Structure 1
């Protein structure tokens, strides 16, 4: 009989229990071990909806496996594994965090198998990156390589449609309507397992064992393979066609728009990235979705998601402590508590409210509202990374570390991106319907009606003037500081506001 196999809570799809082509990995008759460790929820103050989703997914998977699984609820992973398999060897697929990998490497009985749930093996990425050190590992180059290697959206040796990247077709501002009018996304139905999870979370909170942030409304993300496949079918069949043009737009009353909502299912291991991009490509080849929408989705999954996963391991543990801009300000309580009602700025209040209520927003509110405000205020990047990890249903250490430290906060000094991503209120006004009813005006830099993002943008430019002036991509914006007659006033107002909610 094959060795018992340990499944972490983000390795829940069938691919994690399937032998590879050479017979490696868990056997079809392997005992499956799953450990629900309470210490995970004590170490971090997670979003309540995220805790619910993870526990629901784990318990649903255990119920599916039936007598094959040994499911242990313990204080720590080490204690749970000892209870499940007191002696003898255990296999586990490469975990998704450095902390978990360090744990399994310390356990002598555990043998670590290659990672699953991604398109690119670690050794293949290492070969691609070899010789590129000293140069930026450009995401676009990586994306082209993945497309070629896996034959995704290719016509022979050339990209389908003649262009690799159709991003310029996917930057439309939102239509003049409260909603995009896209077909509704798939929504699962809660069951007895969800009720049990909610009961346990309530009990742990009452006992003071754990503390959560955010709201735990009806579960809106898949917790099973069946639900995840239904969500994938709904997206590719009815929503993918309208995804591309407005993927960077924001609507106050329609936070989902045409986005796939598949990230949590991918990151729980319920969906494999290959099946997602192949189904999307099939929709294009069948004439059911335009190329710009399909390419945009493929780029998110096969380009960006794979890139972030690889950089998490490639950059090493020291990457976590990068802080090239020297930002040290603590995250304010209104932000960490998701107190959207304390915020006057409509864009920030709306997005923070979405996180509070669902543990999710799409990539543009994350980058250009939450991340941009944090960058402008000089909040400490490691603390912000931890906040994103805890507060998003699809947030894991490997997801958020490169996305926040590299992409959002420019804390790595440009190893991942060529410039800081921040803007004044004009960008938010152009790409959303959030500014019209707001108490602030995106075109005003100082005074009572000054937009916090516009004032914050120029304050950021001033604070890092020397660094940004030396970057060809930001030098022109920095030169604009000399033309601001109200620069002293806006800087004084920014200092006086401090970390109060904008």
Structure 2
């Protein structure tokens, strides 16, 4: 038998090969283990999406697959395979790798669903001789190796990076954003069954969820994922680039692809996504800056995060060079957006509560930035992002949160902490309008929690950040603040109350 995990659902996980032992006739096994949801308080929409995707795939595979519903993976494997030999593709987390390697008669093959083999990345990284592993260098290496957006030996259009065209603030009139609606799936009887089961589990006290569920917003089958990819490339990709870093209160999706959950469930292969996008540019149906921005997200950042998860090792998740240990407050864990006054945070937290998703800038510059400024435990923040996002997996969130968002690794992954005052949010969104706070105020009745939090963070970590060339100037600015004493007093007495 060949065992398929719940994030290995696409046809590329079944291609016959010698390294996996797969043939076109190999019997398949899928295990739905309830203990996964018992260990953590996941977002209800995430639990629904994962189970729906697994059951849809099992229905597609028909008699070839044995689908087991069990309390644990071990129990399910024993029931389905007995003493027979089982193969499995390399799982996507350290915990799952430990599990499969501890089981008798289970053979682990290479990972699938990524562009670069882990061993190839390790050889590339080791060749840096201790120099910083820059995502930009890796991205160019991937583009060259896979002939993505290349004109001969050089980048298409003469530039590797089109960020200078892709950082526009949102249009003043939100309705002026030139983009059609995203693909949305239709629920079916499998979704009804999953929702009934989740209701029953919660009622029986077996599990506890957070957030809201329904209707399902993200693909749960290969056909739905392909339809979502087609719709994005044909109708939305052209407008993606310029506003990919912008935020709108009434439009959390804007022109984003909404393909991350499909990629991370294995419903889509990254190669087909970037090749279809490149094809749109070469056919004159999408501008280069938008296509390059999307290719960078998939072949650059997503691939880079996957590789660093394995290259840095499991101890990386425990990084905490800033010494942040504050626990996450209840209002945050409960996604209680209604308790929050700051309009940007209230809006984004509500998006997470209602959908289990928001795009990368709200994640980094609203949610992650707030956690960083408040000094919350980075391991707890990582776990929260893992549980509360439909596209969140261990390999996704450990580098993204520990390294990028919380700067807990001290700069192994990024060159500076990604946090800002209210001015950035005001420039890149319409979220500061009608807010109780003013983005320019550090202290006083209308002090913006992000502006106050930014300067408080700089002040607390002055000794470290004054030696970083990307933050030294901001640290020197502390000496010009006439209200620094008041700011320190305010931050000491603020506690964990929602802003």
Q: Note whether the superposition's TM-score is higher than 0.5.
A: yes
Kindly state the Cα deviation for residue 142 of structure 1 after the two structures are TM-superposed.
0.3
Q: Report the TM-score when normalising by structure 1.
A: 0.98
Q: Match of 1:6?
A: 3
Q: CA RMSD in A?
A: 0.8
Counterpart pick for 1:300 among 297, 300, 305:
297
Q: Is the 8 A contact 1:18 1:25 kept in 2?
A: no
Q: Match of 1:463?
A: 460
Say if 2:227 is the partner of 1:247.
Answer: no
Q: Match of 1:233?
A: 230
Counterpart pick for 2:157 among 147, 156, 161:
161
Kindly state the Cα deviation for residue 490 of structure 1 after the two structures are TM-superposed.
1.4
Q: List aligned pairs for 1:154-303, cutoff 5 A.
A: 154-179=150-175, 180-303=177-300
Say if 2:80 is the partner of 1:84.
Answer: yes
Q: List aligned pairs for 1:70-109, cutoff 5 A.
A: 70-109=66-105
Between the aligned partners of 1:413 and 1:94, the Cα distance in structure 2 is: 30
Q: List aligned pairs for 1:52-451, cutoff 5 A.
A: 52-179=48-175, 180-451=177-448
Between the aligned partners of 2:234 and 2:93, the Cα distance in structure 1 is: 33
- Between 123-132 and 276-285, report the one with greater CA deviation: 123-132
Q: Report the TM-score when normalising by structure 2.
A: 0.99
> Structure 2 regions of 5+ residues with no counterpart?
none
Kindly state the Cα deviation for residue 234 of structure 1 after the two structures are TM-superposed.
0.1
Kindly state the Cα deviation for residue 134 of structure 1 after the two structures are TM-superposed.
2.1
Report SS of the residue matched to 1:348.
Answer: helix
Between the aligned partners of 1:184 and 1:153, the Cα distance in structure 2 is: 27
Report SS of the residue matched to 2:142.
Answer: helix
Between the aligned partners of 1:79 and 1:37, the Cα distance in structure 2 is: 9
Report SS of the residue matched to 1:344.
Answer: coil
Kindly state the Cα deviation for residue 483 of structure 1 after the two structures are TM-superposed.
0.6
Q: Is the 8 A contact 1:139 1:303 kept in 2?
A: yes
Kindly state the Cα deviation for residue 5 of structure 1 after the two structures are TM-superposed.
0.3
Q: Is the 8 A contact 1:250 1:432 kept in 2?
A: yes
Q: Is the 8 A contact 1:146 1:303 kept in 2?
A: yes
Report SS of the residue matched to 2:29.
Answer: strand
Q: Is the 8 A contact 2:20 2:89 kept in 1?
A: no
Kindly state the Cα deviation for residue 123 of structure 1 after the two structures are TM-superposed.
1.3
Between the aligned partners of 1:492 and 1:217, the Cα distance in structure 2 is: 44
Between the aligned partners of 2:322 and 2:11, the Cα distance in structure 1 is: 43
Kindly state the Cα deviation for residue 27 of structure 1 after the two structures are TM-superposed.
1.0
Measured against aligned partners, the alpha-carbon deviations of 1:236-269 in whole angstroms (never above 9, x if no partner) come to: 0000000000000000000000000000000000
Runs of 4+ in structure 1 over 4 Å off: none
Q: Is the 8 A contact 2:167 2:245 kept in 1?
A: yes
Q: Match of 2:487?
A: 490
Kindly state the Cα deviation for residue 487 of structure 1 after the two structures are TM-superposed.
0.8
Kindly state the Cα deviation for residue 385 of structure 1 after the two structures are TM-superposed.
0.2
Between the aligned partners of 2:97 and 2:148, the Cα distance in structure 1 is: 31
Between the aligned partners of 2:197 and 2:47, the Cα distance in structure 1 is: 11
Report SS of the residue matched to 2:128.
Answer: coil
Kindly state the Cα deviation for residue 495 of structure 1 after the two structures are TM-superposed.
1.6
Q: Is the 8 A contact 1:144 1:164 kept in 2?
A: yes
Q: List aligned pairs for 1:22-37, cutoff 5 A.
A: 24-37=20-33
Kindly state the Cα deviation for residue 25 of structure 1 after the two structures are TM-superposed.
3.7
Report SS of the residue matched to 2:23.
Answer: coil
Between the aligned partners of 1:151 and 1:486, the Cα distance in structure 2 is: 54
Between the aligned partners of 2:21 and 2:262, the Cα distance in structure 1 is: 22
Between the aligned partners of 1:55 and 1:348, the Cα distance in structure 2 is: 30
> Structure 1 regions of 5+ residues with no counterpart?
none
Report SS of the residue matched to 1:33.
Answer: strand
Kindly state the Cα deviation for residue 24 of structure 1 after the two structures are TM-superposed.
4.5
Report SS of the residue matched to 2:174.
Answer: coil
Between the aligned partners of 1:470 and 1:51, the Cα distance in structure 2 is: 44
Kindly state the Cα deviation for residue 425 of structure 1 after the two structures are TM-superposed.
0.1
Between the aligned partners of 2:400 and 2:43, the Cα distance in structure 1 is: 19
Aligned length: 498
Kindly state the Cα deviation for residue 23 of structure 1 after the two structures are TM-superposed.
7.2
Kindly state the Cα deviation for residue 276 of structure 1 after the two structures are TM-superposed.
0.1
Report SS of the residue matched to 2:66.
Answer: strand
Q: Is the 8 A contact 1:178 1:252 kept in 2?
A: no
Q: Match of 1:44?
A: 40
Q: Is the 8 A contact 1:343 1:349 kept in 2?
A: yes
Q: Is the 8 A contact 1:17 1:25 kept in 2?
A: no
Between the aligned partners of 2:325 and 2:178, the Cα distance in structure 1 is: 42
Between the aligned partners of 1:17 and 1:194, the Cα distance in structure 2 is: 25
Between the aligned partners of 1:44 and 1:15, the Cα distance in structure 2 is: 30
Measured against aligned partners, the alpha-carbon deviations of 1:360-380 in whole angstroms (never above 9, x if no partner) come to: 000000000000000000000
